[in-house]
Structure 1
Amino acid sequence: MQTAPTLTLYTYTTAANLGEARWNDRDRADQFFEDVESAKRDLLEVRDEIAEDDETGPTAICLERIETIPMTEAAILALLNDGVGAIVHRYEIIETIDVT
């Protein structure tokens, strides 16, 4: 019997937005990447934009690794209906980068 695959995805967020509740916030647009290099490259671009801004912004951005639940038809429906939090099995911060 074949099992549904789990996915490892990468994203980033500011240190102020960490925590379980962020996965249930459907108003926050997250960018997801299939490899850590792409996620970090995008994170560094955002960091540079924030650092150039004169307004006070976040002090750190966290690079995260996400492991999904098995991506069955039910999981995909939950993703579409309930948001990304429905498929996050586990996540961890793998790097924190200061905004200077």
Structure 2
Amino acid sequence: MSQGESLTFYTYARVDEGRDDSWAYTGIPDIFFSDEDGAREALRELRADVESDNEEWPPMQLEKIETLPISKDSILALLNDGMGAFMKSYAILEIFD
């Protein structure tokens, strides 16, 4: 990986329109994927598991994240301030109701 390269990752999270900081720690670990298909498949599997346990499915959103260019400063921001400080862009791709 060359210095200055931005990276793209995918993840999912509960839909929570009332949350101001989408990257604040909630007690549930974030899981990131290198491609959209992998994240989408993991979300489908999670939904199947929840529904097979006869639990209510909370709406979830599939998210795309692009990082800041990789540098010593951006990695320090990630380590010291969390994911929000390391993001260049963020988009919700789809909501799974």
Same fold (TM over 0.5): yes
Q: What TM-score comes out, normalization by structure 2 length?
A: 0.83
Identity %: 39
- Provide structure 2 residue ranges, at least 5 long, that are not aligned to the other structure: none
- Give the superposition deviation at 1:66: 0.6
- Provide structure 1 residue ranges, at least 5 long, that are not aligned to the other structure: none
Partner residue, 2:49: 49
Partner residue, 1:29: 29
**Which secondary structure state, in structure 2, belongs to the residue aligned with residue 34 of structure 1?**
coil
Partner residue, 1:80: 79
**Which secondary structure state, in structure 2, belongs to the residue aligned with residue 79 of structure 1?**
helix
- Which digits, 9 at most, give the CA deviation of each residue in 1:47-100, with x for residues without a partner? 111222334441x211010111111111111111221111112111111112xx
Alpha carbons 2:74, 2:86 under 8 Å: kept: yes
Cα RMSD between the aligned structures? 2.2
- Which digits, 9 at most, give the CA deviation of each residue in 1:23-43, with x for residues without a partner? 132744100011001111111
Q: What TM-score comes out, normalization by structure 1 length?
A: 0.80
Count residues in correspondence.
Answer: 96
